[in-house]
């Protein structure tokens, strides 16, 4: 079978980028239906192994699977076309939301902002519950989750969230060695019959070096040349490099980088995050919205582009660096153990955020009732966009009358 052209790859993923609502789990179902069942670009075993590799890596899992799918068809350019098609629709929409939000911010009154805050709280609470059920299945994982949340509360460092993730991974490895066994959930078991990727191992090493370089080069340039605005790039790149567990985890990291520092208002941040739930494609495009609000350069579109590239760039580096070693990675029990600990810490980050937002946003008993109702709607089969818009309209009207 002749591989698809670069244009075919772009158009296929563009269609998915316009229609794939529902988050990473739903995206992977759409990818399977399109790439495996309809187009037959790869088989079931290859697709399952690609998902397993993406789950071991930090970053947006569905976007990484898309990058891998494009690469397996047409190499590096195929990977770029797949990512571009899948990312472009929601990136454009989020940039427009940021521009229009700045222009028409005054239209929203205090009740509207309060309801948006409650919707964000409901979405984060629901994401926390889903991740808790998926990632914390043993006592030591629950302990790491709670310890991570307490660590964020008691250690007021600017990099405490990243430190909590790293420490959780190391503690998880130590726990496995101390107990003389590695606990691996059934969802992480893998087979090893994916054909060897085409990418060369020497190239893979270069991609691995490229992944590490921004952590070293950008701070050096900031210190030596005084290019302070490069910190923005580092913030987005760092988030894309260290986020495990799905798109919702970017919320606490970006909130710490841009809201706590005063670069973006809490109201504008929450407004963008609420709109991000309504968009198809990757939730990581929330970075596009944040980038548009920053004064990185004089051009809003360039700010949006730089933020989008910065948060997705680690995914390219990591996929290209690990594809040749996928079979070795799949067999390393300690790596899978570290990822289990990191996932538990990520749930702890969301737990901390749930308490922080709840303390700030829940001001009356009606708010609690509304949040519970929103979570029930999120659990239902009602389309997410309808649930969020209907909830916003009804509760805003209620607050305006009472």
Residue 328 has pLDDT above 90, yes or no: no
Least confident residue range of 45-59, 265-279, 301-315, 352-366: 45-59
Q: CA-to-CA distance for 344 and 341, rounded, in angstroms? A: 5
Residue 104 has pLDDT above 90, yes or no: no
Phi-psi region of 5 (alpha: psi -120 to 50; beta: other; left: phi over 0): beta
% of the chain beyond a pLDDT of 70: 91
> What is the pLDDT averaged over residues 326-347?
79
User: Residue 284's pLDDT is what?
Assistant: 93
Q: CA-to-CA distance for 51 and 54, rounded, in angstroms? A: 5
Number of domains in the chain: 1
Question: Distance of alpha carbon 63 from its chain centroid, rounded?
Answer: 9
pLDDT in tens, 140-186: 999 999 999 999 888 877 678 778 888 988 998 888 877 655 444 44
pLDDT band at 16 (very low <50, low <70, confident <90, very high): very high
Mean pLDDT over each residue of the chain, to the nearest integer: 85
In a domain, 189, yes or no: yes
In a domain, 328, yes or no: yes
What pTM was estimated for this model as a whole? 0.81
In a domain, 3, yes or no: no
Q: Which carries the bigger pLDDT value, residue 401 or residue 395?
A: 395
User: Residue 327's pLDDT is what?
Assistant: 66
In a domain, 161, yes or no: yes
User: Residue 349's pLDDT is what?
Assistant: 86
Q: CA-to-CA distance for 399 and 138, rounded, in angstroms? A: 42
Q: CA-to-CA distance for 375 and 30, rounded, in angstroms? A: 24
Q: Which carries the bigger pLDDT value, residue 283 or residue 25?
A: 283
In a domain, 148, yes or no: yes
pLDDT in tens, 195-247: 444 556 678 889 999 999 998 888 787 777 766 677 788 889 989 998 876 67
User: Residue 277's pLDDT is what?
Assistant: 86
In a domain, 133, yes or no: yes
Q: Scanning the structure block, which residue is given the tokens 């708010």?
A: 367
Least confident residue range of 81-85, 93-97, 377-381: 377-381
In a domain, 62, yes or no: no
Domain interval for residue 262: 91-401
In a domain, 195, yes or no: yes
Residue 189 has pLDDT above 60, yes or no: no
Q: CA-to-CA distance for 319 and 328, rounded, in angstroms? A: 14
pLDDT in tens, 244-261: 766 778 888 898 889 988
């Amino acid at each position: 079978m002749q591989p698809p052209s670069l244009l075919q790859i772009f158009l296929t993923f563009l269609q998915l980028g316009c229609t794939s609502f529902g988050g990473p789990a739903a995206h992977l179902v759409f990818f399977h239906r399109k790439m495996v069942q309809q187009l037959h670009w790869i088989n079931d075993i290859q697709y399952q192994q690609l998902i397993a590799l993406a789950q071991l890596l930090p970053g947006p899992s569905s976007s990484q699977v898309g990058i891998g799918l494009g690469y397996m068809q047409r190499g590096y350019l195929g990977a770029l076309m797949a990512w571009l098609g899948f990312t472009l629709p929601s990136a454009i929409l989020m940039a427009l939301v940021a521009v229009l939000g700045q222009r028409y911010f005054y239209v929203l009154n205090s009740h509207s902002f309060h309801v948006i805050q409650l919707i964000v709280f409901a979405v984060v609470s629901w994401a926390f519950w889903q991740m808790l059920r998926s990632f914390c299945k043993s006592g030591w994982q629950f302990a790491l989750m709670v310890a991570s949340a307490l660590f964020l509360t008691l250690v007021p460092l600017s990099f405490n969230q990243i430190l909590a993730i790293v420490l959780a991974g190391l503690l998880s490895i130590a726990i496995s060695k101390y107990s003389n066994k590695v606990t691996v959930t059934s969802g992480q078991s893998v087979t090893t019959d994916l054909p060897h990727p085409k990418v060369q191992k020497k190239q893979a090493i270069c991609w691995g070096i490229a992944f590490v370089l921004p952590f070293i080069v950008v701070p050096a340039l900031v210190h030596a040349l005084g290019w302070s605005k490069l910190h923005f790039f580092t913030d987005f790149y760092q988030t894309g490099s260290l986020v495990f567990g799905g798109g919702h985890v970017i919320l606490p990291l970006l909130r710490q980088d841009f809201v706590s520092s005063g670069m973006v208002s809490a109201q504008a941040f929450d407004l963008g995050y609420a709109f991000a739930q309504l968009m198809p494609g990757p939730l990581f495009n929330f970075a596009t919205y944040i980038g548009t609000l920053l004064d990185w350069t004089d051009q809003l579109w360039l700010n949006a582009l730089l933020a989008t590239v910065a948060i997705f760039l680690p995914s390219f580096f990591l996929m290209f660096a690990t594809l040749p070693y996928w079979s070795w990675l799949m067999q390393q029990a300690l790596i899978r153990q570290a990822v289990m600990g990191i996932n538990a810490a990520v749930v702890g980050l969301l737990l901390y955020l749930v308490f922080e937002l709840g303390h700030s946003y829940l001001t009356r008993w009606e708010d609690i009732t509304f949040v519970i109702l929103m979570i029930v709607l999120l659990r239902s089969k009602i389309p997410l966009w309808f649930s969020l818009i209907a909830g916003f309209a009804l509760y805003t009207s209620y607050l305006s009358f009472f």
